[in-house]
Amino acid sequence: MTKSLFDSVTVGKLDLPNRLAMSPMTRSRAYDGLASDLMVEYYAQRATAGLIITEGIQPSVIGQGSINTPGLYIDEQVTSWQRVTDAVHERGGHIFAQLWHSGRVAHSSLYPDGRLPVAPSAVPSGGHMISHTGERLDHPVPQALTLEEIAETIADFVAAARNAIAAGFDGVELHAANGYLIHQFLSDNVNLRDDAYGERTRFALDVTHAVAEAIGPERTGIHLSPGNPYNGIEEGDPSALYTSLLGVLRPDLAYVHLLEIGNRPVTEHLRSVWPGTLVLNPHTGINPVAGMFASAEEAEAALPVADVVALGGLWLANPDLPDRIRNGGPYNEPDHETFYGGDHRGYTDYPTSAR
Ligand code: PHB
């Protein structure tokens, strides 16, 4: 039978009312690391998504890589997220927390002790961070993690995942895409280690399985972006790399979420080797992050290969997206000027359809 975006679908132990997920999107409005009232409203407005995946949330102090992003490593943060999950659940929605460790894509000024950001090896990103005063601060040469620190980092992910469940989330998604810490371990150019973690898939595997053990595989998803050069990442053979990762990940995870980089044949191949649930953010172009978003037509066209389709910009600008897709539009356009930081403008004030 032909799949529809409006089929119900099972993800882990959740029965979702449709196949439309909201992609994780950094919005930089957590001014003190907490989920604010504005964030409660923003996520609640989008509760008709089959699954909301939150913006990236740092699992530890050193996991933070940009200003004004939220955390899940102290009690006050857990309490603040409880209000978000309550509001989404009250409206019948489902929500996973994305756990995001930035690794080398970060700056010492984010940390109270001014320490260096960390990475698999001491290789800088070549990029920069925007400071609170709008200054461009070059990402420094990071400190290579020791084996002991790798174990601590995995423990931080596990603790944050437990916190997410305590905060009422339905599960967590581990951010292993877009050039952040887990992706740095998967890369050819940032992972120059000669210990066990020099094996590119090892860290992704260890983090994912440790989290799955702690909160249940059915509550654990992983976000991958095969072939994405974002944040200075090089992968010699993405198809081979991700084939080997998918071959060792436990298939009873909630899902694998792929951000596609203009290569449907790679997606189709990875679909064929992954027996579990596949969430796909479809992209026929090559730069899907930083403001290029898939359309409703691309979402439909992705269904043969995906169990769930994750969309970013359309959800950002259209809180009532399922209704709009059912009606063939029209769609509000996302405003790039208000993506990061600011107030309710370009955040909670996108109108629902007049219909
Ligand atoms: C961003 O802040 O632009 C950003 C954050 C996380 C991503 C991609 C982009 O995975």
Ligand 1: residues with CB < 6 A are: 26, 56, 66, 177-178, 289-290
Q: What is the pLDDT of residue 100?
A: 98
Q: What is the pLDDT of residue 307?
A: 98
> Considering only CA atoms, which residue is closest to atom 5 of ligand 1?
26
Confidence category of residue 170, pLDDT binned at 50, 70, 90: very high
pLDDT above 90: residue 150: yes
134 assigned to some structural domain: yes
Confidence category of residue 274, pLDDT binned at 50, 70, 90: very high
> Considering only CA atoms, which residue is closest to atom 7 of ligand 1?
178
Q: What is the pLDDT of residue 284?
A: 76
355 assigned to some structural domain: no
Residue in 96, 100, 25 with CA at minimum distance from that of residue 63: 100
Between the CA of residue 339 and those of 58, 111, 284, 348, what are the distances in Å?
A: 19, 24, 22, 12
Q: What is the pLDDT of residue 98?
A: 99
The residue range of the domain holding 81 is 9-338
Q: Report CA(171)–ligand 1 centroid distance (Å).
A: 20
> Considering only CA atoms, which residue is closest to atom 2 of ligand 1?
26
- Gap between the Cα atoms of 181 and 228, Å rounded: 14
pLDDT in tens, 314-325: 999 999 999 999
- Inter-residue contact 77 to 64 (CB < 8 Å): no
pLDDT in tens, 253-268: 999 999 999 999 999 9
In 162-273, which ranges are E strands? 171-175, 220-224, 255-259
What amino acid occupies position 90? E
Confidence category of residue 291, pLDDT binned at 50, 70, 90: low
How many residues comprise the chain? 355
80 assigned to some structural domain: yes
What's the burial of 130, exposed, middle or buried (CB within 10 Å: 0-12/13-18/19+)?
A: middle
Q: Report CA(288)–ligand 1 centroid distance (Å).
A: 10
- Gap between the Cα atoms of 50 and 171, Å rounded: 14
- Gap between the Cα atoms of 51 and 236, Å rounded: 33
Confidence category of residue 250, pLDDT binned at 50, 70, 90: very high
Percent of the chain with pLDDT over 70: 98
| Catalytic-role residue among 180, 230, 255, 350 | 180
Q: Give me the DSSP letters along 329-349.
A: ---PPP-GGGSSSSSSTTTT-
pLDDT (mean) for 74-89: 98
350 assigned to some structural domain: no
348 assigned to some structural domain: no
Query: Atom of ligand 1 at shortest distance to CA of 177?
Result: 10
Confidence category of residue 110, pLDDT binned at 50, 70, 90: very high
102 assigned to some structural domain: yes
1 assigned to some structural domain: no
pLDDT (mean) for 333-343: 96
Query: Is omega for the bond preceding 330 within 30 degrees of 0, making it cis?
Result: yes
pLDDT above 70: residue 18: yes
Q: What is the pLDDT of residue 289?
A: 72
What is the number of structural domains in the chain? 1
pLDDT (mean) for 187-204: 98
pTM: 0.98
Between the CA of residue 256 and those of 87, 225, 251, 270, what are the distances in Å?
A: 26, 10, 9, 10
pLDDT above 60: residue 32: yes
Confidence category of residue 292, pLDDT binned at 50, 70, 90: confident
First to last CA, the chain: 31
Confidence category of residue 63, pLDDT binned at 50, 70, 90: very high
Q: What is the pLDDT of residue 264?
A: 94
Q: What CATH number has the domain bearing residue 128?
A: 3.20.20.70
Q: Phi and psi of 309, rounded to 5°?
A: -110, 125
pLDDT above 80: residue 286: no
What amino acid occupies position 21? A
Q: What is the pLDDT of residue 287?
A: 67
303 assigned to some structural domain: yes
pLDDT above 60: residue 226: yes
180 is catalytic: yes
- Gap between the Cα atoms of 127 and 130, Å rounded: 10
**Sign of the torsion formed by the C-alpha atoms of 285, 287, 292 and 294:** positive
